[in-house]
Amino acid sequence: MGVAVFSSDLILAAVSPELAIERTREAFRRHEAGEWSMPSKLYLDAPPHGDFRAMPARGEGLATLKWVTSFPGNPSRGLPVVSGALLVSDATTGALLAILDCAAVTSLRTGAAAAVSASVLAAEGAAGVGLIGCGVNGGWAGRCLAAAGYGPGVCADPRAEVAEALAGELGWQVGSREEAAAQDVVVSVTPGNSAVIHAGDLRPGQHLAVLGADAHGKSEVESAALERCHLFCDEWDQASRGGELAAAVEAGLVDRAAVTEIGAVIAGRARGRGSEDEITLFDSTGLATQDLSIALAVLDVWRGGTVEAPEIEL
Ligand SMILES: NC(=O)c1ccc[n+]([C@@H]2O[C@H](COP(=O)([O-])OP(=O)(O)OC[C@H]3O[C@@H](n4cnc5c(N)ncnc54)[C@H](O)[C@@H]3O)[C@@H](O)[C@H]2O)c1
């Protein structure tokens, strides 16, 4: 049997930001309910350049494995930070069914996570978006938030050309980090080398979606800012070890009881935002079950005949 191969272009043609948001919301719910399984993400360091991650998941009769990089210095070589492949197998026979470009899958589910978090946690009437970091995954966060009805927004990035291109595409504005951090919904997608959200930036009622810190040692939020937020994450085990919350957990400032998984809020099993004035913070570390959910969407669209993919024999 052939193995279908999906390039980045095919995946982005098959899965709109709207569909990615719907499937990501579903992934958070299924994950938290224990309906889909996800062993721990495995990191393979490649110092000093970056790291590889192996991310397996199983659900809906499929098993997936994403082999993905985070090589923060790559843009200076003209290469993407995130690259690799996602393998999709039949969980009944073990047969390999498909190979997907993992950068497109990652961008769709990462951008969609920001939009899902805003729709679940942002204050009533929140509209303005501040995007701090407008690279590959920041761009998709912007596209997904716009698709979910948020905006206009402010795009902040030291690389003026990427901020200008994204602002132009979405009809938003280019601005400073401070201007972006003052918006209703603030999304950070930077390499996580230094804080880009400070305590002095915060104002009542904001929602923060922090996406850049997805491994040990990375952080985008000053600890004094974190202390003022009602905390949410995609998955406690992963976020407490390798996300924005990890340093605060290690320092004993944040414990399990202080953090709610977003899937529990979506399922109606946990409280979300407590008041209009509260500042909510969603720590996205990126779940393999989110990747599975996007892979399922790609296969559904392909089986529906809307996109055609080449098949190879291994
Ligand atoms: N949470 C998740 O699920 C998830 C998924 C994918 C990537 N990531 C992480 O997100 C980060 C960004 O990934 P990417 O693929 O978008 O990389 P990228 O290089 O395409 O984009 C990063 C952007 O951040 C900008 N930047 C750097 N310092 C900044 C600052 N102080 N203020 C504003 N902007 C700044 C850079 O100029 C660049 O445009 C990485 O750390 C990556 O590991 C997380």
* CA 228 to centroid of ligand 1, rounded, Å: 24
By the 10 Å C-beta count (0-12 exposed, 13-18 middle, 19+ buried), 104 is classed as buried
- Looking at the predicted structure, is the pLDDT value of residue 60 above 90? yes
Express each pLDDT in 228-280 by its tens digit.
Answer: 999 999 999 999 998 999 999 999 999 999 999 999 999 999 999 999 999 99
> Going by DSSP bridges, is the β-strand pair 129-132/153-156 parallel, antiparallel, or unpaired?
parallel
With CA atoms as reference, report the closest residue to 101 among 68, 124, 79. Answer: 68
The ligand 1 site (C-beta within 6 Å) comprises: 70, 75, 81-82, 106, 110, 132-138, 156-159, 162, 177, 189-192, 196, 211-212, 214, 284-286
Express each pLDDT in 112-167 by its tens digit.
Answer: 999 999 999 999 999 999 999 999 999 999 999 999 999 999 999 999 999 999 99
Give the E-state strand segments of the chain in sequence order: 3-6, 42-46, 50-59, 62-70, 84-90, 96-101, 129-132, 153-156, 173-174, 185-188, 207-210, 230-233, 259-261, 280-283, 311-312
Express each pLDDT in 34-51 by its tens digit.
Answer: 999 999 999 999 999 999
| Structure-derived torsion over alpha carbons of residues 13, 18, 20, 21, reported in degrees to the nearest 10 | 170
* Ligand 1, atom nearest to 109 Cα: 3
Ligand 1, from 161, 190, 214: best to mutate by most atoms within 8 Å of Cβ?
190
Q: DSSP per residue over 43-108, as a string?
A: EEEETTTEEEEEEEEEETTEEEEEEEEE-TTGGGGT--SS-EEEEEEETTT--EEEEEEHHHHHHH
Q: Tokens for 186, please give them.
A: 């603030």
| Structure-derived torsion over alpha carbons of residues 106, 109, 112, 117, reported in degrees to the nearest 10 | -110
Q: What are residue 173's DSSP bridge partners?
A: 154
* Ligand 1, atom nearest to 194 Cα: 31
- Looking at the predicted structure, is the pLDDT value of residue 215 above 90? no
218 noted as active-site residue: no
Q: In what helix (H) or strand (E) does residue 301 lie, and over which residues does it extend? A: helix 288-303
Q: What is the pLDDT of residue 214?
A: 87
Q: What is the model's pTM?
A: 0.96
With CA atoms as reference, report the closest residue to 233 among 225, 222, 218, 244. Answer: 244
Q: Which amino acid is at 207?
A: H
Q: Tokens for 97, please give them.
A: 């069914």
Q: What is the pLDDT of residue 291?
A: 98
